[in-house]
């Protein structure tokens, strides 16, 4: 009877256990494959985004080179500034309409970039707006990107750059470590010849390359594969193509790793069968029910990830492999959701702030290293005021549209000069611009930086006046006042409308110096002269700024 009882308990439980393992194997396989699909799509978006950003920066340089409202030297200067501040470009090569090399912006361009563009590249770039070339071999892999230069609806030339693909590999490695920790090179980016971009030393099994060659990856449909590389365990794989070019993202996870929870479950079920033979068949049913519910949650969660619904959570708190997998999926959802929101938020913030602040300060604000709350602090800084002398007569002789266009051109170049010397544009007041150095980013040489910017503004003004006299028949004259000292800087205003500005006696004196300066004159305060040292030559003037003070303030002129 005892043996019969054991047999009656063990046989149904054993049968149920085998069936349960089969069901769990199918569910776990679906879970792993759908997780791989979600991660592969995310990796493809990252790589496509990097390539799109590189091409967009190159197009921005191209538009600067074809601007009709700027002379050639200013277009080249603007293009050089754009290349120096670009995130993805370290050089730009200029070609004529026949693809012949003209010049290179920055001296870091590879030698092959100077080779003429063939007809196929030129025709494709002119018709589609951009061309992505093949990747070059070697550790410093680059990919040529070419876009046309268009002026008056005609292609007048081309600009290109060999973009380094190393950052793509770094991003993919980070994603691989986040989702497939412990698996070396789980995510691989392949170029058009199925060569791995993430590691120069990594080589794919010939059988894997044959599979990819026989069925090229599609950018719209991820493919699940079962790979059997020579000398290695079978792998669960997923491959998807990129939308921008014939690259692909391949995810490979060994089956013992992907189905580790299934192997553990088999051992657990076997132990459970022995236990059921002793205590009852009821515990077997309870165990089976307890095991299947987490798998159903995992399956539902994986489907949600495949549909890009990152708000779903498994809420599995168990200490076994399934609980570990559930927590890993929850963490993956949180990271993907957080990263997607952060990228969108940072892109919006960067677009808004780069119109007013230099790129390094924008990155500090986006990274939350610079506070945007109301409040202020004392800073040692230098303030510059630059004003158009005799602006009122100009407004009376020129049309309003011309006045606005002239001011926009003047402020555009002035802002670029301020940014180039590490300053911050505080505000535009009519025909006057206020800038400061030393806030929000502290710097020891704020006085010298402000004086160098003032000197460059006057140097550029000579070139600008040549154009304005030719087009508008007017000459613009500037007067500049510069003063150094301690001021209160911070966000001033309300919770819904604020401005980052500087307030204090230092600012008032700089504004006063600008009002008494003659055209072409740079007047500075005594503190600025002391900070500048021997880098500039000054002449003390007889005039002083009273401004209701008991002691007058000496005035100095920069000798240029």
Burial class (CB in 10 A: 0-12, 13-18, 19+), 230: exposed
What pLDDT does 517 receive? 94
Residue 405 contacts by C-beta under 8 Å, 6 or more apart in sequence? none
Model pLDDT, residue 1: 47
449, 451, 455, 460: CA torsion to nearest 10: 50
In the chain, where does the domain assigned CATH 3.30.450.20 lie? Answer: 1-308
- Host H or E run for residue 174: helix 166-179
What is the end-to-end Cα distance of the chain in Å, rounded? 113
Q: Is there a contact between 401 and 413 (Cβ–Cβ < 8 Å)? A: no
Q: What is the DSSP letter of 280?
A: -
Q: What pLDDT tens digit does each residue of the chain (560 aa) get? A: 446 555 655 566 666 666 666 666 677 777 888 888 888 888 888 888 888 888 898 889 888 888 888 898 888 888 889 888 888 888 889 999 998 998 888 766 566 677 898 988 889 888 888 888 777 766 677 888 899 998 888 898 999 888 887 787 778 888 888 888 878 778 888 877 777 776 656 667 676 777 777 767 777 677 777 777 777 788 888 888 888 777 888 888 887 877 777 767 777 777 776 776 667 556 555 666 666 777 777 677 777 767 777 677 776 777 777 777 777 777 777 777 777 777 667 667 666 666 655 565 666 666 666 555 555 789 999 999 999 998 888 888 889 999 999 999 999 999 999 999 999 999 999 899 999 999 888 999 999 999 999 999 999 999 999 999 999 889 999 999 999 999 999 888 776 666 788 999 999 999 999 999 999 999 999 999 999 989 899 999 977 766 666 578 899 999 97
Q: Give the 3-state secondary structure of 483-538.
A: EEEEEEEEEEECCCCEEEEEECHHHHHHHHHHHHCCCCCEEEEHHHHHHHHHHCCE
d(CA 58, CA 130): 10
Q: What are φ and ψ of residue 375, in 5° steps? A: 140, 170
The Cα–Cα gap between 272 and 320 comes to 15
Domain 1-308 has CATH 3.30.390.30: no
CB-based contacts of 58, cutoff 8 Å, min separation 6: 89, 92, 130, 145, 147, 159, 160, 161
**Nearest CA-CA partner of 482 in 441, 440, 430, 421:** 421
Identify the pLDDT of residue 54: 87
Third-level CATH fold of 372-558: Alpha-Beta Plaits (3.30.70)
Structure tokens, 525:
């305060």
- With a CB cutoff of 8 Å and minimum separation 6, the contacts of 35 are 179, 302, 305, 329, 332
CB neighbours of residue 420 within 10 Å: 17
CA count, 13 A, side-chain hemisphere, 97: 5
Going by their DSSP bridges, the two strands 101-105 and 92-96 should be labelled as antiparallel
Structure tokens at 469: 């006299």
389, β-bridge pairs: 477
Residues of the chain with CATH 3.30.70.1230: 372-558
Tell me how far apart the alpha carbons of residues 23 and 19 are, in angstroms, rounded to a whole number: 6
Q: Under DSSP, is residue 449 helix (H, G, I), strand (E, B) or coil?
A: helix
Distance CA(183)–CA(251), nearest Å, equals 10
Q: How many CB atoms lie within 10 A of CB 331?
A: 13
């Amino acid at each position: 009877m005892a043996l019969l009882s054991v047999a009656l308990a063990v046989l149904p439980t054993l049968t149920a256990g085998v069936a349960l393992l089969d069901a769990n194997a199918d569910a776990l396989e679906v879970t792993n494959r759908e997780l791989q699909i979600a991660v592969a799509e995310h990796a493809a978006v990252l790589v496509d985004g990097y390539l799109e950003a590189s091409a967009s920066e190159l197009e921005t340089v191209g538009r600067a080179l074809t601007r009709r409202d700027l002379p050639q030297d200013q277009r080249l200067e603007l293009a050089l500034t754009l290349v120096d501040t670009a995130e993805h470009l370290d050089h730009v090569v200029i070609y004529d309409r026949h693809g012949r090399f003209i010049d290179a912006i920055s001296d870091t361009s590879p030698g092959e970039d100077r080779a003429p563009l063939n007809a196929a590249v030129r025709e494709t770039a002119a018709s589609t707006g951009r061309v992505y070339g093949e990747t070059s071999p070697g550790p410093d892999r680059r990919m040529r990107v070419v876009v046309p230069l268009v002026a008056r609806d005609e292609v007048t030339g081309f600009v290109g750059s060999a973009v380094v693909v190393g950052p793509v590999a770094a991003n993919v490695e980070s994603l691989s470590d986040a989702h497939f920790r412990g698996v070396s090179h789980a995510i691989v980016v392949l170029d058009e010849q199925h060569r791995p971009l993430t590691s120069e030393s990594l080589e794919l099994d010939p059988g894997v390359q044959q599979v990819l060659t026989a069925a090229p990856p599609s950018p719209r449909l991820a493919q699940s594969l079962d790979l059997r590389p020579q000398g290695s365990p079978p792998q669960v794989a997923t491959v998807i193509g990129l939308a921008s070019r014939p690259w692909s993202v391949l995810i490979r996870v060994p089956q013992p790793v992907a189905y580790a929870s299934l192997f553990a479950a088999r051992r657990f079920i076997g132990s459970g069968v022995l236990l059921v033979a002793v205590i009852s068949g009821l515990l077997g049913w309870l165990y089976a029910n307890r095991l299947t519910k987490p798998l159903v949650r995992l399956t539902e969660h994986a489907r949600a990830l495949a549909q890009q619904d990152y708000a779903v959570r498994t809420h599995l708190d168990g200490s076994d492999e399934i609980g570990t997998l559930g927590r890993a999926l929850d963490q993956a959802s949180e990271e993907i959701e957080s990263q997607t929101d952060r990228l969108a938020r940072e892109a919006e913030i960067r677009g808004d702030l780069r119109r007013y602040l230099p790129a390094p300060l924008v990155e500090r604000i986006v990274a939350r290293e610079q506070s945007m709350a109301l409040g202020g602090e004392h800073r040692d800084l230098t303030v510059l005021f630059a004003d158009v002398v005799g602006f009122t007569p100009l407004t009376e002789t020129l049309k309003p549209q011309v006045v606005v266009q002239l001011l926009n051109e003047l402020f555009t170049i002035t802002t670029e000069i301020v940014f180039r010397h590490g300053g911050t544009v505080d505000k535009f007041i009519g025909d006057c611009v206020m800038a400061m150095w030393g806030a929000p980013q502290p710097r020891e040489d704020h006085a010298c930086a402000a004086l160098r910017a003032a000197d460059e503004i006057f140097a550029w003004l000579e070139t600008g006046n040549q154009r304005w006299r030719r087009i508008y028949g007017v000459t613009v004259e500037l007067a500049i006042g510069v003063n150094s000292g301690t001021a209160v800087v911070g966000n001033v205003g309300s919770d819904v409308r604020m401005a980052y500005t500087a307030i204090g006696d230092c600012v008032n004196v700089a504004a006063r110096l600008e009002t008494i300066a003659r055209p072409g004159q740079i007047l500075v305060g005594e503190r600025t002269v002391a900070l500048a040292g021997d880098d500039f030559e000054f002449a003390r003037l007889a005039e002083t700024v009273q401004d209701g003070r008991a002691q007058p303030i000496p005035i100095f002129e920069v000798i240029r």
